[in-house]
């Protein structure tokens, strides 16, 4: 008898999970962006989320939950119900650098999530206020070495992309500027444009339009090749700092334990977004690198996260930023 009741109960639970997944989504989906509006993570989330909304038949609504270099929003996302109604846009900082910098971090980038897929690669660009007194990257490095104590460097909080790539930059160049923290590089960019801070290292999708518009200066891009979005900006190697090559990325994660069909729907919606020519163009025009088929999907993202945590931990410790 008991066995029959139990079997029936298990059957019911399985059915309701199945029915839940079948109807999914029946209401809007929240995508947590762990930084301020207007920055690169926010921009990529809105571009990708826009197309995912169309595939899923429900709005993907961005919620900005900034703080602690992006870890505040990601903790919130990791602890949300794994029902497909809360997902998040993480990045190289929250899912790569953060464990080296937050000893008690309340999530494990490789274990606390169901990875959905990579959204875009984002090369790092070294940018400065437009009246920075150096004509090229070499001049910038010379000036920075002589005046580093007077320089203000913007970044989006400990463990963020701008912070970790910025700390690495300072260590490679041998400078110690003052770090100024923002809730994202969207607001940091506003202060760079108005000349309140001197420079930052940031994801290309945030800064490309302002570089093209001449409201800030780009000294170099930290990738082996130039970006088609910024063809006039030299690589760090071309410009004389080959030891500084670094790239970031943004990716969609869900809290661990999603029902299989819901997981599959989200993976497919992201895949469809990246296959859509208008969505791709919006990312590429900003300098984003759309992953090819082998770089898309949960497995590739899981591998990327594991390799990024392994890569960043010694790098940040070596740069004097680790614990
Ligand atoms: N790019 C920022 C960072 O430094 C975050 C953001 O505003 O999206 O991590």
For ligand 1, say whether the CB of 73 is within 6 Å of any of its atoms. Answer: no
pLDDT in the model for residue 99: 95
Answer whether the bond into residue 25 is a cis peptide, omega within 30°.
Answer: yes
pLDDT in the model for residue 80: 98
Per-residue pLDDT of the chain (323 residues; tens, 9 = 90+): 444 544 444 444 444 555 556 699 999 999 999 999 999 999 999 999 999 999 999 999 999 999 999 999 999 999 999 999 999 999 999 999 999 999 999 999 999 999 999 999 999 999 999 999 999 999 999 999 999 999 999 999 999 999 999 999 999 999 999 999 999 999 999 999 999 999 999 999 999 999 999 999 999 999 999 999 999 999 999 999 999 999 999 999 999 999 999 999 999 999 999 999 999 999 999 999 999 999 999 999 999 999 999 999 998 988 877 65
Which phi and psi (to 5°) does residue 287 adopt? 95, 0
Bridge partners, 125 (sequence order): 202, 221
pLDDT in the model for residue 1: 46
Architecture (CATH level 2) of domain 29-122+248-318: 3-Layer(aba) Sandwich (3.40)
For ligand 1, say whether the CB of 122 is within 6 Å of any of its atoms. Answer: no
pLDDT in the model for residue 319: 81
* Cα distances (Å, whole numbers) of residue 17 to 12, 13, 33, 82: 9, 6, 27, 12
For ligand 1, say whether the CB of 186 is within 6 Å of any of its atoms. Answer: yes
23 vs 138: CA distance, rounded Å: 58
Under CATH, to which class is 124-239 assigned? alpha beta
The domains of the chain are located at 29-122+248-318, 124-239
pLDDT in the model for residue 286: 98
Domains 29-122+248-318 and 124-239 belong to one CATH topology: yes
pLDDT in the model for residue 318: 83
For ligand 1, say whether the CB of 96 is within 6 Å of any of its atoms. Answer: no
For ligand 1, say whether the CB of 121 is within 6 Å of any of its atoms. Answer: no
Distance 156 CA to ligand 1 centre (A): 6
């Amino acid at each position: 008898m008991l066995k029959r009741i139990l079997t029936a109960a298990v059957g019911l639970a399985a059915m309701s999970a199945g029915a839940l997944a079948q109807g999914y989504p029946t209401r809007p989906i929240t995508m947590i962006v762990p930084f301020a509006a207007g920055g690169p993570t926010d921009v990529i989330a809105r571009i990708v989320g826009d197309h995912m909304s169309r595939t899923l038949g429900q709005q993907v609504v961005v919620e900005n939950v900034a703080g602690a270099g992006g870890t505040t929003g990601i903790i919130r996302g990791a602890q949300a119900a794994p029902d497909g109604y809360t997902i998040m846009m993480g990045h190289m900082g929250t899912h790569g650098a953060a464990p080296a910098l937050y000893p008690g971090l309340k999530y494990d980038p490789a274990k606390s999530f169901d990875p959905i897929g990579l959204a875009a690669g984002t090369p790092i660009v070294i940018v400065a206020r437009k009246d920075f007194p150096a004509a090229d990257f070499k001049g910038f490095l010379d000036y920075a070495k002589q005046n580093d104590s007077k320089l203000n460097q913007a970044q989006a909080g400990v463990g963020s992309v701008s912070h970790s790539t910025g700390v690495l930059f300072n260590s490679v160049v041998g400078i110690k500027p003052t770090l100024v923290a923002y809730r994202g590089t969207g607001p940091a960019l506003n202060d760079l444009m108005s000349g309140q801070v001197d420079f930052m290292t940031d994801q290309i999708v945030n800064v490309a339009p302002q570089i093209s518009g001449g409201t800030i200066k780009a000294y170099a891009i930290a990738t082996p090749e130039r970006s088609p979005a910024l063809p006039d900006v030299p690589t760090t190697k071309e410009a004389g700092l080959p030891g500084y090559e670094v790239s970031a990325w943004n990716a969609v994660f869900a809290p661990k334990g999603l029902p299989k069909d819901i997981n599959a729907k989200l993976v497919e919606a992201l895949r469809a977004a990246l296959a859509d020519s208008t969505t791709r163009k919006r990312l590429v025009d900003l300098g984003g690198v759309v992953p090819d088929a082998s770089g898309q999907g949960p497995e590739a993202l899981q591998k990327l996260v594991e390799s990024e945590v392994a890569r960043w931990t010694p790098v940040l410790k070596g740069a004097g930023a680790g614990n």
